[in-house]
Amino acid sequence: MGLLFLVIFQIYLYYLDDLLIVTAFIHITLKGTGRLILIYSRKTFTVGIICLLFIGFFIFYHLHKPVQTPPQKNKHSVVKKKEYIPVVEYNGGSHLKEIGQKVRQKNWGTLTLVDRIKVNNTFTVSPMVIKVNDVKIIRLSNLTKQTKEFLRGYTGLSNEEAYQLFTEKNLSNEEIQDRVELSRTEIGNNTTYLEITYSVKNTGSNALQFFSIENVKLNHKWSYKVPEENFILSDDTLIGAKSVSRVDYRPGESRKGTIGLLNESDSSIRKITSFSFTTDDLLDGDSHHLLAKPKTFTINFQLK
């Protein structure tokens, strides 16, 4: 484009010079001859005007030509790949093996493994043998409305504490229910809970009455009454929370259990540093005589 402009401009200058020479020559030539030269000069002048107009258009076009800039990539326009979370029917916590792993339990919510300790330790209240398999901290999110209402029922005053209000303060049932309701904690979109998996076996020859994990303490700080606060029903806990309500362990019988305990405190639990539990009384299944008093077992874990 620049080269074309130079060529046209040179042509214009050439004809302009010629126009000036011819115009001057007209004044010193004869009248008849001058007429021919004047005709030539007019043609030359017309070419010059055309060249001038073209040059003006060329300059105008380049001055007003829109500047084309390469399209810029929007940093926020990058679409993130949707995270795949497997869906399970029930017992979502049992599917979590690695820290950070997630599952979505149908009609419940999303479960994320925050911390896990593989205990695999055996504890004996002869002849009952308790094996604690796993202790996990699990975060709940995207909970359904029904799930929040269900979990809310495991917060606040326990049935035992409510009964104490009845016996000690002589409150009416309505007053007790009002206090229990006021003690409940609203379940938010994110909450954590402690999940314990274990098994129990009666290695003796007689039927026995026993509740293997009556109380739990986590990190020497958070305490739980399992029969009142456990919200996961499993083989062992489904049979009965209290000694008087449970079916006896038959000789040689084994049961598996899972316990779920909500973290109601304002402090989040990210690491498991210690775990302790206390058993219930061990009673003979027929005579209900006391065979062994409750025992407490504590395990301290080394921080990684």
Q: Model confidence at 22, in pLDDT bands (50, 70, 90)?
A: very low
Give residues with Cβ within 8 angstroms of 298, minimum separation 6: 274, 275, 276
pLDDT at 150 over 90: yes
DSSP state of 22: H
Which has more confidence, 47 or 165? 165
- In this prediction, residue 281 carries a pLDDT of 92
pLDDT (mean) for 155-170: 77
- In this prediction, residue 67 carries a pLDDT of 56
Which has more confidence, 267 or 228? 228
Task: Write out pLDDT tens, residues 215-242.
Answer: 999 999 999 999 888 999 887 776 555 5
CA 280 distance to own-chain centroid: 38
- In this prediction, residue 113 carries a pLDDT of 97
Cα(282)–Cα(133) distance, rounded to whole angstroms? 22
DSSP state of 285: T
Please tell me whether the peptide bond between 127 and the residue prior to it is cis, using omega within 30 degrees of 0.
Answer: yes
pLDDT above 90 covers what percent of the chain?
47
- In this prediction, residue 161 carries a pLDDT of 77
pLDDT at 250 over 90: yes
- In this prediction, residue 9 carries a pLDDT of 46
Q: Cα-flanking dihedrals φ and ψ of residue 89, to 5°?
A: -80, -45
pLDDT at 27 over 50: no
pLDDT at 249 over 70: yes
Long-range contacts of residues 218-227, Cβ cutoff 8 Å, at least 24 apart? 218/135, 218/194, 218/269, 218/272, 218/274, 218/275, 219/269, 219/271, 219/272, 219/273, 219/274, 220/273, 220/274, 220/276, 222/194, 222/263, 222/265, 222/269, 224/194, 224/261, 225/158, 225/160, 226/259, 226/261
Q: What is the pTM of this model?
A: 0.70
Which has more confidence, 208 or 264? 208
